[in-house]
Every structure is written in C-alpha cells, then in structure tokens.
Amino acid sequence: MNVLIDKFDVFAGGFWLTLQICLLAAIGALLLGAIVAVLRISPVPPLRALGTSYVNIFRNMPLTVVMFFAAFGLPALGSNADFLRIPVLDSLFSRLGTDLPYFRFALIALVLYTAAFVCEALRSGVNAVPAGQAEAARSLGLTFGQNLRYVVLPQSWQASVVPLGSVIIAMIKNSALAGFFGIVGDLSATADQLTGAEGYAFVPVAIGISVGYLIMTVPLGTLLDRIEKRQAVAR
Amino acid sequence: MDDVTTGEPLIVLDAVNKWFGPLHVLDDVSLSVGRGEVVVVIGPSGSGKSTLCRAINRLEPINSGTITFDGQPLPAEGKPLAKLRSEVGMVFQSFNLFAHKTILENVTLGPIKVRKEKPAAARERGLALLDRVGIANQADKFPAQLSGGQQQRVAIARALAMQPKAMLFDEPTSALDPEMVGEVLDVMTSLASDGMTMVVVTHEMGFARHAANRVIFMADGQLVEDAPPAEFFANPRSERARDFLSKILTH
C-alpha cells in the first residue's frame, strides 16, 4: 500500500486533471443540453426534429465511439479543436491551451455525449410541470421564450435536479474512458502508469484511484439527497 | 341589460370546424359576440363548448372557418398571436395559478413582462385588483395556501390585470366546492355589470339567467340555440335543449 503515499503526487495530479475535465465537461454539457432541450420542446417542427436527432444519435452511441470520432475524426477534418483555447479559461485549466489537443478532444466527446442525457433530464422536468401552467402563461400573452423563462423552467428545475445530478455523476465516471485512450494523464490513466510502467501491484493502485473518483461523486450524491429532502419539505 | 351592443361585434366565428381525430367537436359553428355582451354557453359534456371557448384565443387551433377578434383574423402563431392573447383574458376550470409565484406576482407577471409596465405601478394596480376580488390581504401567499374559490378569484384578477377587451371563462366554478361557487359568481356578475365582454362556459343556470345577455346551447359540436336567457329557459325551441334542461332543472 506504500504506493498510495509514495506516489501521492501522481494520484493527486491525475485527480486534478480528472476534476478539470469534469468541471469543464459539466458546464459544457449543461449549456449544450439546455439548448438541445429547448429545441426539442420548441413549437417549430424543424427545430424539434433537430433536437430529437441529436438526442437519438448521442444517447445511443457508445461513448468510446464518440471519443474515437473526436480523437481521430477531428484531426482528419483538420481541426485541433483550437476554438477551446478560450483566453481566461485556458489559464485556469492549462490543458485547454496546450499544443497536444487530446484533452480538448476528450472534453468535446464528453460534452457531446452527456448533453443528450442532460437534455432528457431537463425535458422530463419540463414534462412534470402541469400543462395548465404553460397554457395560463400563453393566455396572458407571454411568448414561448418568456413562458419557458418565467413559468415553466423555474418549476421544472425542481423535478430536473435529481436526474440531472445522476447524469453528472455518470459523466464523472465516464470521464475515466478518456484515460484509456492513453492520451490525457487523468486519474484512470494513473493506473496504467503506475502498474505498467513502474511495476506497482494493481490492487492498491486501483483502490487509490477508486477513492479519487469517490471523492468527486459521493459528495455530489449527498448534495442531491439534501436537495431532494428540502424539496419534499417545501411541498 | 338590453342594448349593450354597440358598433361592430368584438368576436366573430364564421363556419368554424374542428376535429379531434374522427370526432367533430365543432361543427360549422358561427357566432358573434358584441362589445359589452355577456354570452353564456351551456350544453352537455362533450358538446364542444370548452373547445369553442378555447378556440377564441387559439389555445385550440381550428381546422376550417375563420375567427376574428376586434376586426382582425386570429394570427396563426408567434408575436402577433401572443399580442392577441394579451387582449383576451382567460379563466380556467383548474385555476392554473403559477404555483411558484406569490398571489401578487401572479397578477403582475403579465403586465410587467408582456406590457412592460413598471413593477411598482403594476404592483399598485395588482393590489387594487386583488382588493376588488376580495383577496388583497393574501397578496404574499402562494396559490397552494388559498382555497379554490380564492384561487379562482385571483385567476380573474390576473386576467383583468392585462386590461383585456374580453374575458373567456372555461367552466370557472366546476372544480369548486359548492360553498365557494357564489364568491366567484359574484365577481363575475360585477364584471358583467361593468360592461366587460364575456364568454362564459358554465353549468351555473342561475348565473346564465341573471347575468347573461344571450344563452348559447351546444350539443354534439353544433350551436343548437342562441336566445336571450328568459326566452331560452322558458321556451327552448329544440328538443335537445328541452331534454337538457329537464335533466338539470328537475333536481
């Protein structure tokens, strides 16, 4: 078990990188997922079809395949995803700005994939709001956007937040796939490095890595339970 | 209550048809409602009277025919439709107050967001309207804390806050406990006597008798009778209306 102490810096480095991917991917997936959700409930049929197609594609494709598409497809199209070198962000999250694009590729894949699930979590929340609420808002003359913003979304949030949390927890665990592309050096890649290259026993390393993921996911789960309880009281 | 109608009618339906799948819910319905007129729509359930009411602000789109409001055909969608709806107040059977907003916020949301009124002015007017329907002291509560009758009066105040040209009532007292029906009908009666143009779908025959200018009787999607209340209740012309009245008035 000495590896946990001796190589603490490697674990910590992997943890920090995974946390970076997850923070960025969560922000990206929530934004993109919200946009896709608005498309899916929009009154304009072509927009609805666009949103539905997005969800059908990315919810039904294995994440591994999406990652392969990002890692090999984007370079084939001549893109190093340089649009993600966002000025202020890339000083906070240094990997966004490096010349090696794999962090950005992994991020794109994770955002595209997770956004489909975020969309469905948001939409289930919208569907939980009684139809009469939106009808009353329409009858007052609120536009579709105002209706969503002032009436439907504030109420759907309550029903969305718990499934949304589950989606983010799943995303944190899914981020481990990025490591097995051997390209990012995140928490899951730590295992590869320590057992393969440096010859440490597998089990202690795996325990260290599991603890790293649990540190990210368990508090999130606890937070969700709290939110759920508080809502139960509010009703 | 005579001679309230002046100028061109406010609401005109011409040969309106609507199907829900194979069901012909509105069958060639033509109707015009004058300014200041109170029209009560009655009929057995499933006769299309709610659909008629909801078609007037296009909560239900129609399949054929035309509906004009204040001289303009109903816009199909988008901003023009939203603008039209802001001029037609609607009161629902199930109240539909915004559950996450206080009573006062319910009443001021439309004026602030749709009419772009200043929040302070909208609140002041909102409170005056709540006072008018007798709920000013509940302004900071949430809808779920009010009784059904109180919620429905708030819903009327919310619609009035938009200063609508007409009000639609879709069975406003059908979801209420019996002892609360009166308080809602009182508010509606006072609105009617103030000259508001109203289309009221209801089973309250007392309200139809004393507040309506005209009673419309619908059955199977068709507009069967259109007569002043005294005439309709004393002397229904059609067999179906006589049958309907005999069923509801004998108890």
Question: Can you give the CATH number for the domain in which B30 is found?
Answer: 3.40.50.300
Mutate to test the interface with A, among B96, B156, B171 (most CBs of A within 10 A): B96
How many CB atoms within 10 Å of residue B110?
29
Percent of chain A at pLDDT exceeding 70 = 90
What's the whole-number average pLDDT of chain A?
Answer: 86
**Distance of alpha carbon A148 from alpha carbon A134, whole angstroms:** 8
- Asked whether the beta carbons of residue B59 and residue A146 sit closer than 8 angstroms, the reply is no
- Contact of A91 with chain B, judged by CB distance below 8 Å, is answered with no
Q: Is residue B72 in some structural domain?
A: yes
Residue window 112-151, chain A: list those with CB within 8 Å of chain B.
130, 132-133, 135-143, 146, 150-151
B188, B140 contact by CB (below 8 A) = no
Provide the ipTM. 0.89
B161, B132 contact by CB (below 8 A) = no
pTM of the shown model:
0.79
Secondary structure letter of residue B171 according to DSSP? S
Backbone angles phi, psi at B203, to 5 degrees: -110, 5
Q: Is residue B136 in some structural domain?
A: no
Q: Is residue B127 in some structural domain?
A: no
Q: Is residue B149 in some structural domain?
A: no
Helical pair B78-86 and A131-140, crossing angle rounded to 10 deg:
80
Helical pair A8-41 and A153-174, crossing angle rounded to 10 deg:
140
- Asked whether the beta carbons of residue A141 and residue B87 sit closer than 8 angstroms, the reply is yes
CATH number of the domain where residue A77 is located: 1.10.3720.10
Range of the domain at A124: 2-234
Q: Is residue B53 in some structural domain?
A: yes
Range of the domain at B17: 8-96+166-247
- Is residue B217 within a helix (H) or strand (E), and if so which, with residue range? strand B214-219
Q: Looking at this protein, which amino acid is placed at residue A101?
A: P
A56-59 long-range contacts, Cβ below 8 Å, gap at least 24?
Answer: A57/A116, A58/A112, A58/A113, A58/A115, A58/A116, A59/A116, A59/A117, A59/A120
A98-135 tens-digit pLDDT: 666 788 888 899 999 999 999 999 999 999 999 999 99
Categorize the per-residue pLDDT at A234 as very low, low, confident or very high, splitting at 50, 70 and 90: low
Per-residue pLDDT of chain B (251 residues; tens, 9 = 90+): 444 555 789 999 999 999 999 999 999 999 999 999 999 999 998 899 999 999 999 999 999 999 999 999 999 888 899 999 999 999 999 999 999 999 999 999 999 999 999 999 999 999 999 999 999 999 999 999 999 999 999 999 999 999 999 999 999 999 988 888 999 999 999 999 999 999 999 999 999 998 999 999 999 999 999 999 999 999 899 999 999 998 887 65
Residue window 36-75, chain A: list those with CB within 8 Å of chain B.
43
Give the number of domains in chain A.
Answer: 1
Q: Is residue B146 in some structural domain?
A: no
- Residue B58's region, left for phi above 0, alpha for psi from -120 to 50, else beta, is left
Categorize the per-residue pLDDT at A232 as very low, low, confident or very high, splitting at 50, 70 and 90: low
Give the number of domains in chain B.
Answer: 1
Q: Is residue B134 in some structural domain?
A: no
Residue A182 has what pLDDT? Answer: 54
Min Cα distance A25 → chain B (Å) is: 31
- Is residue B39 within a helix (H) or strand (E), and if so which, with residue range? strand B38-42
Residue A4 has what pLDDT? Answer: 79
Min Cα distance A178 → chain B (Å) is: 41
CB nearest to A136's CB, from B96, B100, B113 = B96
